[in-house]
Structure 1
Amino acid sequence: MDILRDADIDPAPLLNKRVAIVGFGNQGRAQALNLHDSGVDVVVALRGGSSSSTEALGHGLEVALVADAVASADLVMLLAPDEILGSLYREIEPSIRPGAALGFSHGLAIHFHFVAPRDDLDVFMVAPKGPGTALRSLYQQGDGMIALWAVAQDRSGAARALALAYGRAIGCARAGLLASSFAEECEADLFNESAVVWGAVPEILIAGFDTLVAGGVSPQVAYMECVGELKLIADLIEARGIAGMREAISNTAELGATLGGPRIVDAGVRQRMAEVLTEIRAGKFANALTREEADGYPRLEQARAEARALPVEQAFRSLRPKP
């Protein structure tokens, strides 16, 4: 798979183009600021009375009402939460210029048909592989965050060039842009969120903490051992890969990993991971997401409350410096 970087990409397709950022959350804020700092004409689309208006203006960004921002743009980036993109697109579609481009940073809305783009629009995706806060901080440091890109609809014949120029402007081509598809990016991302980094890893950390505490270890020591060292292993893997990480740790740690890891992540875990991927591809998660939004997010509210009450969270707070 080719990895495209700054030197491989022509920035010209984005020159003299106006970009409307619709959604000023984690990704929207970072991408708007990075575009602005790259010299792109960018406008943040906000609803009247939005609390984000003061923040955006304070960063030197132009702000306009949603319909006005969209109507003025050559490229409309939909960076609001996935579950509302369908209704949001239907609202703004009459304001989108004929022959304009529609951009996404996640494949879900297109892959699972939340959004059915107008036939005259170019449709592409540039999906940074990390949160917006990191995308912004890396950009400011002169670095970048790797991203996937794809084109779902190329009516102008220039959608690919525009997508790559956009990825360059937000700093991702400093690290690399990898070709993908809306389906591949969506399914892989949802799988990771459900079964690996955002789903399984925190549950393993909590289970490890609880096991040590139940075995008589103090909560603070259990936290440092099971949670506190996570960043260390993440940094080692980022720098050296998984094999390099194992070679960098002590023989004691490496033997423990060799003996203990496969007992935890056994054939049963791998089978359940495969089931999660099958369910994602069948649309089960996408359906659950739309129901959650329609019901007012009760499951997420309950999960957040339960997480704040966990003993591991109490240990975390006890180890933080007092203000």
Structure 2
Amino acid sequence: MQVYFDADADPDLVRSKRIAVLGYGNQGRPQALNLRDSGVSQMRIALRDGSPSAGRAGADGFDVMTPAEAARWADILVMLFPDEEQARVYRDELAPHMKPGAALVFAHGLAIHFGLVEPRADLDVVLAAPKGPGTALRDEYLQGGGLLSLFAVHQDATGSARALAFSYTAALGSGRVGMLETSFAEECEADLFNEQAVLWGAIPELIHAGFETLVEAGFSPEVAYLECLTELKLIADLIYQRGIAGMRWTISNTAEFGALKGGDRIITADTRTEMRRILREVKNGSFVKDLIADAESGYPLLKTSRAKAAAHPIEAVGARLRALKS
């Protein structure tokens, strides 16, 4: 896969445009701040009336407007509202007002890939997907680096969509470290699979299970927390810096032998079968269907899951141990 850098992008392309960032949360705020620091001077934040983020955006020096107002004003609209809200926002507030030849930028391919948003034929539609949370995107930028990002073109109405994707992604800071070309489908499906099968689904459950196993066997909750959660951050840093094989060079023979004895007993053939089932549910759209259904019902499943996680005993232990640092 070819990797692109700042030298491949025209920074003046985004600097010359009016850009409206829709949403000012995990991705909206860091992207807006990075764009401004990269020389984008004509920028607004688009939020729903009464949004609690309006005060923070104003304090950061941005003018705030509604999505419909932004659609009339902007050359580029950056869709950073939650995935399940994007269809309504585009249909009711953006599509009737966007300028001919304007551009839609997405940070995730879901709404386009699964047809929740069907963009007008005269619009450029591109993907700029930093591979990490917004806090990391901002922190890396301020340190002179960036996050690797994926980019893609779904619709090129003006003939300049790919150049825009380069320019926008580079302005986030990703041109400093690398920009990789993909498709909306590949980015979306890989990301949804990873969220369920590895990062946000499997790893927290593995931590809970390890903690519970030790506590049930009579170990102190504090020791269980340190072993099953705190050390995860340290090992993740090593893997990020060195890769999995390189990480093994930094741990003891005992730890490495423990990985040899235990890994395949936890990640079994049944686990891999379930991963393939999760991927099928992502690709056939059933996961997105369930997501939209939960959103339309007021998020009963998501609210129950949040409450269950917050009530787990590991949270109280973690609060006590984190307090020691301060």
TM-score range, shorter chain: over 0.9
Matched, 1:120 2:122: yes
CA distance in 2: counterparts of 1:300 and 1:49, whole angstroms: 23
| CA contact 1:6–1:173 (8 Å) conserved in 2 | yes
Question: Helix, strand or coil: the match of 2:21?
Answer: strand
Query: Conserved in 1, the CA contact under 8 Å of 2:8 and 2:166?
Result: no
The CA distance in 2 between the partners of 1:296 and 1:49, in whole Å, is 19
Q: CA deviation at 1:64?
A: 2.0
**Higher mean displacement: 40-49 or 16-25:** 40-49
Q: How far 1:10 sits from its partner (Å)?
A: 1.9
Q: CA deviation at 1:46?
A: 2.0
Offset from partner CA, 1:112-163 (integer Å, 9 cap, x none): 0000000000000001111111111111111101111000001111100001
Match of 2:259 in 1: 257
> What is the aligned partner in structure 1 of residue 34 from structure 2?
34
Q: Can you list the C-alpha shifts for 1:231-277, whole angstroms capped at 9, x where unaligned?
A: 11111011100000011111000000011111110111011100100
Match of 1:159 in 2: 161
1:194-205 superposed matches below 5 A:
194-205=196-207
What's 1:142 paired with? 144
SS in 2 for 1:320: helix
2:67 and 2:89 in contact (8 A); partners too: no
- What is the 5 A alignment of 1:57-76? 57-76=58-77
Alpha-carbon shift at residue 13 of structure 1 (Å): 2.0
Structure 1 match to 2:91: 90
Is residue 45–residue 70 contact of structure 1 (8 Å, CA) maintained in 2? no
Which AA in structure 2 matches 1:31?
Answer: Q
Aligned to 2:215: 213
Query: Distance between the aligned counterparts of 2:322 and 2:28, measured in 1?
Result: 30
Who is 2:10 aligned against? 10
Deviations 1:162-183 (A, max 9, x none): 0110001111222211100000
Which runs of 5 or more residues in structure 1 are unaligned? Answer: none
Query: Which deviations, in whole Å up to 9, do the C-alpha atoms of 1:179-234 show, x marking residues without a partner?
Result: 00000000000000000011101111110111111111100000000111011111
**Amino acid aligned to 2:32:** A
Partner Cα distance (2:3, 2:210) in 1: 38
Give the superposition deviation at 1:36. 1.2
| Greater mean deviation of Cα atoms: 285-294 or 134-143 | 134-143
| Structure 1 moving runs of 4+ over 6 Å | none
Larger deviation, residues 20-29 vs 280-289: 20-29
More displaced stretch, 73-82 vs 51-60: 51-60
Structure 1: distance between partners of 2:321 and 2:46: 41
Structure 2 unaligned runs (5+)?
A: none
Query: Given residue 46 of structure 1, which amino acid in structure 2 is its aligned partner?
Result: L
Residue type of the partner of 1:160? R
3-state secondary structure, aligned to 2:307 = helix
Deviation larger for 42-51 or 211-220: 42-51
Query: What residue identity is the alignment partner of 1:5?
Result: F
Cα drift, residue 66 of structure 1: 2.2
Instruction: Determine if the alignment matches structure 1 residue 22 to structure 2 residue 22.
Output: yes
Residues 33 and 61 of structure 1 are in contact (CA less than 8 Å); yes or no, is this contact kept in structure 2? no
Task: Summarize the alignment of residues 272-287 of structure 1 with structure 2, pairs less than 5 Å apart.
Answer: 272-287=274-289
Query: For the residues of structure 2 that align with 1:266 and 1:319, how far apart are their CA atoms?
Result: 33
Which deviates more, 152-161 or 34-43?
34-43
Identity %: 55
C-alpha distance in structure 1 between counterparts of 2:236 and 2:186, whole Å: 24
TM-score w.r.t. structure 2 length? 0.97
CA–CA separation in structure 2 for the residues paired with 1:292 and 1:135: 29
Secondary structure in structure 2 of the residue aligned to 1:321: helix
Letter in 1 for 2:59: G
Q: Secondary structure at the match of 1:161?
A: helix
Determine the C-alpha separation between the residues in 2 that align with 1:311 and 1:71.
50
Whether contact under 8 Å (1:36, 1:61) holds in the other structure is no
Match of 2:298 in 1: 296
